[in-house]
A = this chain, B = another copy of it.
Amino acid sequence: MKNLILASGSPRRKMLMEWAELNFVVRVSDVDESYPDRLTPNEVARFIASNKNKAVFEALLPSELQESIIISADTIVVLNDEIIGKPVDRDDAISILKKLSSQKHAVITAVHIRSIHNEISFTETTTVHFHSITNDEIVHYVDLYKPYDKAGAYAIQEWIGVVGIEKIEGDFYNVMGLPVSKVIKTLNENFF
């Protein structure tokens, strides 16, 4: 009997795993999300996802080692090769959304899956095109939805995503934080 562990505190990732009908538990360890200079955006996401996975893996009890499969993920937003992280405050959130307005950006999620037998990581990229959004709309969104825990200062399934996004190319659920269909494919082919 495999024991699937989601190494993420994100309620959206938990919801997506539930929508996919996976049986799993959530376990989170505190992880430093800093990263070395001169990594590419893809490498940054993989580096952080790997660290999140490692922290939970190393906290496994010896009796859990054989059957555990740990899934971790990190999502970043990339605009013109610049990584846009989580906003540090209200002004930063407003400034980030001003930058995203009328532009396309990439949402990259790195996924790291590890058992005692096997370890696989991959990234999935979705391109998101924003409409032009006004200052008033940005301030309304930031003050009402407080997107301070979200890379790029927005969530695609909230108001700003519904009214502000023109189109996407790629996996929608990847923008929400987990490319679920690729996770399941990887689990089926390599871990189950």
**Which of A172, A180, A185 is packed against the most chain B CB atoms within 10 Å?**
A172
A91 interface residue, CB < 8 Å from B? no
Instruction: Kindly identify which residue among B156, B158, B166, B173 contacts A162, using a CB–CB cutoff of 8 Å.
Output: B173
Binds B, one of A16-24, A26-34, A46-54, A110-118: A16-24
Given that A131-B181, A181-B131, A185-B131 are known contacts, is A19 also in contact with B162, CB under 8 Å in the complex? yes
Given that A172-B172, A181-B131 are known contacts, is A16 also in contact with B162, CB under 8 Å in the complex? yes
Interface string of A1-41 (1 = CB under 8 A from B): 00000000000000010011100000000000000000000
Inter-chain contact A162/B20, CB cutoff 8 Å: yes
A120 interface residue, CB < 8 Å from B? no
Q: Which residues of A contact B (CB under 8 A)?
A: 16, 19-21, 126, 131, 156-159, 162-173, 180-181, 184-185
For the complex with contacts A19-B159, A165-B172, 10 further pairs of A-B residues with Cβ separation under 8 Å are A16-B162, A19-B158, A20-B159, A21-B163, A163-B180, A163-B181, A164-B181, A166-B181, A167-B171, A168-B169
